[in-house]
């Protein structure tokens, strides 16, 4: 059956400010269907009211512009390709500084590899793949991250030669193995953007105007709102229930039991560390409660409580610190000293969090516009163990009515506190972008995932 004609004209041309990017100018009474169903699907993004731009990190824009042109014509659109772009489409070219093994690959096999690198880049940019740590491994960059579906991966390489090298069932396992391999070279969050990534982002950063949504455009399903990278203390809470399952799966020395439908308890095999999770925690409840004891029948050394709105990465830092052996303290008789405070908050000092002393509180506050902080109550530190919270790590709104909080008792181990403040100072998380429901659906669609090759290979910078 023939496809219905689409009354739209599209002009494709080389981008004036980028060596390989392509622009698509749409004219005619109703170009929206072509925008939603074809150009967006081939990676074009809005950069003005009538212009969409294709900018990739694999430098293969002419090829994908040609594929988009063919699909547009099949849908009935009139497509004009500028002669300079057509010359690029017709030119056989190779990547510069290509990996040695690429000489044995066909052009289609190389394109599969570079498309895989592009997919990884797009997943990171759209928040579908969260990068937890990165490191320099000789001449290139390596990283560890987790997809929205829960799979964690190690990445090797940059730009069009980046590839997945290892898969893991859980994030703690992937991060721990990453630290084991790269030790002191590990840095928090994703690596800085490369020159190629910055160039592509620059041509895609132009604000786009709003236009009414015609009836034909409303047939396109709106995409889910994208998320953006923010400091970890400003991130969305995330799935705490999934975090509990991952923690138990990755740490066999912790035994799970569920005394009530609403509660799960994870107990360390030593019977001196205990984590309680409240599945249906409401506002005002604690989703997590942690306690450490001198012995299975001994006195409680310290405890902590985590609200359900706490960003997932902060709670992960607490649990991972427990799993690494930082949960055992020095006992309730040890005084909190200046050295203890300095050790616990060293990451905050290293990243410029201002410290203030007010009455009974010593406070460290985030150096940017997002509200967050850490406070130490000097009076509570002198009270009987556990009677009052001494440490408060918080974010959002105000210190007295925070959006989220982690509260810890006086003798919480300094090493565990430092793990939390390290994540607070260096970590990043995702927060959903706030989008208007009146926005044109085609402008919100994300690039579909490109099928992965069976044996992904790495990629390089293009020379035409």
Find the domain containing 151 and state its range.
95-189
In degrees to the nearest 10, what's the CA dihedral of 167, 134, 394, 381? 100
Please check whether residues 118 and 85 belong to one and the same domain: no
User: Residue 242, Cβ neighbours under 10 Å: how many?
Assistant: 13
Please check whether residues 56 and 122 belong to one and the same domain: no
Given this model, what pLDDT does residue 191 score? 86
pLDDT of 7-28, one tens digit each?
558 889 999 888 788 998 887 6
E strand or H helix that includes residue 156: strand 152-156
Q: What are the E-state strand segments in 366-446?
A: 372-377, 391-397, 402-408, 428-432
Please check whether residues 85 and 130 belong to one and the same domain: no
CA distance 159 to 460: 7
CA-based nearest residue to 200, from 55, 63, 60: 55
User: What is the token pair recorded at 233?
Assistant: 């203390």
Averaged confidence pLDDT in the chain: 81
Contact call for residues 272 and 296 (beta carbons, < 8 A): yes
Please check whether residues 278 and 402 belong to one and the same domain: yes
pLDDT tens, the chain, 464 aa long = 444 444 558 889 999 888 788 998 887 655 555 555 678 888 888 887 778 889 998 888 899 999 998 988 887 788 899 999 998 888 876 665 666 667 778 878 888 888 899 999 989 988 889 999 999 887 789 999 999 888 999 999 988 889 999 999 888 889 989 988 988 788 888 888 888 888 888 888 755 433 333 333 333 444 444 567 889 999 999 889 989 988 998 899 999 999 888 899 999 999 999 999 999 887 778 999 999 999 999 888 999 999 999 999 999 999 999 988 888 766 655 678 899 999 999 999 988 999 999 889 999 999 988 999 999 999 999 887 656 789 999 999 888 899 999 999 999 999 999 999 999 998 888 887 654 433 333 333 333 333 333 333 333 334 43
Please check whether residues 81 and 104 belong to one and the same domain: no
Given this model, what pLDDT does residue 437 score? 38
Number of structural domains in the chain: 3
Given this model, what pLDDT does residue 434 score? 55
CA distance 431 to 289: 25
Q: Are strands 78-81 and 9-14 parallel, antiparallel or unpaired?
A: parallel
E strand or H helix that includes residue 81: strand 78-81
CA distance 94 to 54: 20
In a domain, 444, yes or no: no
Contact call for residues 19 and 60 (beta carbons, < 8 A): no
- The CA distances from residue 262 to 16, 97, 245, 259, 274, in Å, are 60, 57, 15, 8, 17
Please check whether residues 334 and 244 belong to one and the same domain: yes
Please check whether residues 317 and 366 belong to one and the same domain: yes
Given this model, what pLDDT does residue 286 score? 93
In a domain, 375, yes or no: yes
Residues in a beta bridge with 143: 134, 155
Please check whether residues 248 and 370 belong to one and the same domain: yes
How would DSSP label each residue in 220-285?
SPPPPPPEEEEEGGGS----HHHHHHHHHHH-TTEEEEEEETTEEEEEETTSSEEEEEETT--TTS
Please check whether residues 347 and 416 belong to one and the same domain: yes
Please check whether residues 143 and 46 belong to one and the same domain: no
CA-based nearest residue to 395, from 200, 217, 255, 232: 232
């Amino acid at each position: 059956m023939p496809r219905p004609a689409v009354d739209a004209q599209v002009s494709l041309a080389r981008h004036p400010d980028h060596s390989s990017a392509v622009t698509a100018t749409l004219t005619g009474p109703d170009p929206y269907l072509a925008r939603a169903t074809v150009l967006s699907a081939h990676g074009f993004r809005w950069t003005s009211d009538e212009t969409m731009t294709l900018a990739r990190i694999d430098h293969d824009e002419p090829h994908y512009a040609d594929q988009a042109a063919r699909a547009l014509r099949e849908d009935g659109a009139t497509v004009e390709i500028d002669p300079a772009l057509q010359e690029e489409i017709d030119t056989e070219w190779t990547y510069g500084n290509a990996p040695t093994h690429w000489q044995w690959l066909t052009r289609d096999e190389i394109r599969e590899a570079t498309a895989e690198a592009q997919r990884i880049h797009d997943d990171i940019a759209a928040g579908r793949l969260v990068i937890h740590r990165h490191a320099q491994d000789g001449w290139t960059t390596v990283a560890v991250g987790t997809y929205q579906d829960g799979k964690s991966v190690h990445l090797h390489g940059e730009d069009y030669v980046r590839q997945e090298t290892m898969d893991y069932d859980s994030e703690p396992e992937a991060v721990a193995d990453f630290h084991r391999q790269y030790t002191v070279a590990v840095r928090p969050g994703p690596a800085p953007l490369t020159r190629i990534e910055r160039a592509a982002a620059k041509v895609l950063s132009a604000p786009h105007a709003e236009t009414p949504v015609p009836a034909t455009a409303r047939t396109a399903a709106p995409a889910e709102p994208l998320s953006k990278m923010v400091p970890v203390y400003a991130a969305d809470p995330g799935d705490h229930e999934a975090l509990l399952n991952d923690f138990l799966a990755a740490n066999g020395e912790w035994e799970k039991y569920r005394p009530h439908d609403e509660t799960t308890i994870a107990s360390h095999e030593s019977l001196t560390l205990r984590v309680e999770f409240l599945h249906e925690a409401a506002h005002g409840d604690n989703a997590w409660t942690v306690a450490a004891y001198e012995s299975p029948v001994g006195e409680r050394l310290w405890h902590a409580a985590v609200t359900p709105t706490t960003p997932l990465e902060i709670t992960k830092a607490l649990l991972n610190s427990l799993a690494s052996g930082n949960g055992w303290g020095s006992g309730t008789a040890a005084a909190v000293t200046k050295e203890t405070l300095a050790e616990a908050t060293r990451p905050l000092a290293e990243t410029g969090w201002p410290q203030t002393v007010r009455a009974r509180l010593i406070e460290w506050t985030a150096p940017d516009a997002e509200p967050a902080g850490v406070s130490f109550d000097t009076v509570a530190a002198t009270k009987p163990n556990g009677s009052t919270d001494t440490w408060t790590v918080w974010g959002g709104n105000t210190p007295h009515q925070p959006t989220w909080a982690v509260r810890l008792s006086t003798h919480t181990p300094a090493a565990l506190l430092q793990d939390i403040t390290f994540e607070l100072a260096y970590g990043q998380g995702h927060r959903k972008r706030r989008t208007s429901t009146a926005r044109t659906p085609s402008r919100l669609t994300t690039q579909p995932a490109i099928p992965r090759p069976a044996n992904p290979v790495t990629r390089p910078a293009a020379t035409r």
